[in-house]
Amino acid sequence: MKWRVLAFLISFSFFTELAYADDAVNWLLLEGDASGCRMQSVKKTMDDGQGETKIWLELDSKQMIIKTQSEIDSAYNDLSIQVDDENEIKSTQIVDKNNLVFQSDIEIITEEFIKGKIVKVNLRFWPTWPTTGLKTTEFSLKGFTKVYRSLKPCP
């Protein structure tokens, strides 16, 4: 009887560890950031209308950035994120042609990420003509809150 209880406890502990490990896969502190004040999502591959590009999200207390390896097209007013069924949050602020920045709504974004399950990212990529159309991908918010609470204020 003792062995069965012990085996159950070991297996329960193993599966609990796996659940925590799964959370950490979606969001982690930004690698190489010694200050511990920035976090990022997993990197995904997405169609940019001309081929494949990497895309990921980076966040600190001041801003959220959608980073890509392709040039973002700002000719239309539909670059946005949407958490679950909440309202879309739009941005037109592009840095270095490849990074869409959200600053003014960072408190709303953070609050929705903590409550949400999925964030949908809507982007357009250059060239504007012929248009490659609106491209969408989703990121899981599982594990976001745990990593976010471990962030330190940026200097």
Q: What is residue 6's predicted lDDT score, i.e. its pLDDT?
A: 40
Domain segments of the chain: what residues? 2-149
Q: Which CATH architecture has domain 2-149?
A: Sandwich (2.60)
Q: What is the pLDDT of residues 93-120, one digit of tens each?
A: 999 999 999 999 999 999 999 999 999 9
Q: What is the pLDDT of residues 21-75, one digit of tens each?
A: 455 589 999 877 778 899 999 999 999 988 899 999 999 989 999 999 999 998 8
Residue 12 has pLDDT above 50, yes or no: no
Q: What is residue 21's predicted lDDT score, i.e. its pLDDT?
A: 45
- Report how far residue 125's alpha carbon sits from residue 111's, in angstroms, rounded to the nearest whole number: 28
Q: What is the residue-wise DSSP string for 79-144?
A: -EEEETTSPPEE--EEETTTEEEE-TTHHHHHHHHHH-SEEEEEE-BS--SS----EEEEEE-TTH
Lowest mean pLDDT among 3-12, 60-69, 110-119, 141-150: 3-12
Q: What is residue 1's predicted lDDT score, i.e. its pLDDT?
A: 52
Residue 13 has pLDDT above 70, yes or no: no
Length of the chain: 155
Q: What is residue 3's predicted lDDT score, i.e. its pLDDT?
A: 46
Q: What is residue 52's predicted lDDT score, i.e. its pLDDT?
A: 93
pTM given for the model: 0.81
